[in-house]
Amino acid sequence: MYITFILIFFLSFLFLYFFIMTTQKENFVSENSTKKKPSCACVYDVDGTLTNLSYGSNKEIAIDARASAESCINAGCAIGLVTNNKLCTDKDPDNCKITEYAFGFNIKDPKQVSEASRKLKKKIITGENWILNNIDKGNAMKSFSQKLSNKGCGILIDDNVLQSCGKCNTFDKNSYCPAPWGAETEEPEMNQVKKSYKCKFFSKHSKDSGDDYLWIPAREIDKNKKDLKNSMSQMGGTGFLWNDGSQTSIAEGITKEYWNTSLTSGNVKEFSKKCQINIKPVYNPTLKTKLSEIKRCEYKKNPPKCKTYRDCENYMRSNCKNKIMTDYTYQCLDKKNKKNKYCKIVPK
């Protein structure tokens, strides 16, 4: 009787052990652990897309990108990352912590990916093999397309307008930078300013279109905004502002609002049909966020303290929808009978 009990206990233990191990392996799917290629991929830029305008990987500058990530995962798309710096590479001391803040799970941590997969009840295809360091976004998307069963089913989520469609040296203001609605040397066509674009891997002309991949801008797109006088609307890019009118809104990342409204565009619907995927908006993300909700523009009730005007600028980025360049002026001033300085913020 006693031996029979021991035997049953031992067999039960082995069953549970192999069941758990098998389940964990199924949840975390990387390129090396599956022969079947995914039908699509959502590839994210980092600065200005998973973060606000600031550079880095800390919690204070991360934005909540769970809606877009969960939409992609639910549709069966892989989650990829294209970086222009050390973030999420072997030189990143925080080991891709920015994705944990933005997505709700660290794409380089198998345990976090497995747990997120369990909660979403979907396999998550991501990991080390889905991270690429390449400033040329068209070239990067060409590399990611090789990992897909259909090469034309990649989505690039990126705030940098002048890099996202085609090949361009964005650090040279005098170079020809292609964009879907015009370039430095052309008059912009405002009816071409959209929430999504069909792009070619390498575009030699600003108005080239193609179905090599889909680009969704991680920034405000509002073609109805009036341009500043004698300026052209390019919407700029992170790190360089060319005074191109009101469309140069500061990037605040792929927020839930930007993502969900982009999915109603004709380009996305055409993309979904072509790739035979069902990519839907997510209004209430399942994964828990590690970011606190940002309060908007409370400067009148409780003016923020500051040491320099930079503190006021950072406050506006975090609290006022990043409408710094076009909507506000700010100074760091002394208040009477007080040692501390306070931000004086005045709408234009």
**Tens of pLDDT, residue by residue, the chain (348 residues):** 556 545 555 555 555 544 444 433 333 344 434 568 999 999 999 988 998 765 655 777 889 999 999 999 999 999 999 987 778 878 888 889 999 999 999 999 999 999 999 999 999 999 999 999 988 888 899 999 999 999 999 999 998 776 788 776 555 555 556 666 665 555 556 677 788 999 988 876 667 788 999 999 988 777 666 555 444 444 544 434 444 434 455 677 899 999 999 999 999 999 999 999 999 999 999 999 988 776 667 777 788 888 888 888 778 877 776 555 556 777 888 766 567 788 888 766
Residue 25 lies in a domain: no
Residue 22 lies in a domain: no
For residue 111, the SS3 value is helix
Q: Are residues 249 and 343 in the same domain?
A: no
> What pLDDT, on the 0 to 100 scale, is given for residue 109?
95
- Global confidence as pTM: 0.75
Q: Are residues 223 and 154 in the same domain?
A: yes
Residue 184 lies in a domain: yes
Domain stops at, among 253, 275, 297: 275
Q: Are residues 213 and 315 in the same domain?
A: no
- Give the angle subtended at the CA of 167 by the CAs of 255 and 69, to the nearest 5°: 25
Q: Are residues 310 and 270 in the same domain?
A: no
> What pLDDT, on the 0 to 100 scale, is given for residue 8?
55
Structural domains counted in the chain = 2
- DSSP H stretches of helix in 133-283: 137-145, 161-164, 256-262, 266-275
Residue 130 lies in a domain: yes
Residue 323 lies in a domain: yes
DSSP letters, 131-163, are: EEE-S-HHHHHHHHHTTSSSTT-EEEEES-HHH
Q: CA-CA distance, 147 to 140, in Å (whole number)?
A: 12
Domain stops at, among 260, 275, 290: 275
Q: Are residues 119 and 211 in the same domain?
A: yes
> What pLDDT, on the 0 to 100 scale, is given for residue 101?
94
Domain residues for 195?
38-275
Residues 6+ apart with CB under 8 A from 335: 341, 342
- Give the angle subtended at the CA of 314 by the CAs of 312 and 317, to the nearest 5°: 110
> Between the CA of residue 99 and those of 13, 145, 261, 289, what are the distances in Å?
36, 22, 22, 11
Cα–Cα nearest to 282, from 317, 255, 304: 255
Q: Using DSSP bridges, classify how beta strands 341-347 and 305-306 pair: parallel, antiparallel or unpaired.
A: antiparallel
Residues 6+ apart with CB under 8 A from 319: 294, 295, 296, 297, 298, 299
- Tokens 């199924």, residue located: 26
- Beta-ladder partners of 329: 346
- Beta-ladder partners of 344: 331
DSSP letters, 52-64, are: -SS-S--GGGB--
> Between the CA of residue 144 and those of 41, 52, 82, 103, 347, what are the distances in Å?
8, 25, 9, 20, 43
For residue 325, the SS3 value is coil
Q: Are residues 51 and 198 in the same domain?
A: yes
Residue 285 lies in a domain: no
Q: Are residues 261 and 319 in the same domain?
A: no
Q: Are residues 309 and 271 in the same domain?
A: no
> What pLDDT, on the 0 to 100 scale, is given for residue 298?
75
Domain stops at, among 236, 253, 275: 275
Q: Are residues 242 and 342 in the same domain?
A: no
Q: Are residues 318 and 215 in the same domain?
A: no
Residue 287 lies in a domain: no
Q: Are residues 327 and 188 in the same domain?
A: no
Residue 244 lies in a domain: yes
Q: Are residues 175 and 107 in the same domain?
A: yes
Q: Are 66 and 285 in contact (CB under 8 A)?
A: yes
Q: CA-CA distance, 290 to 103, in Å (whole number)?
A: 9
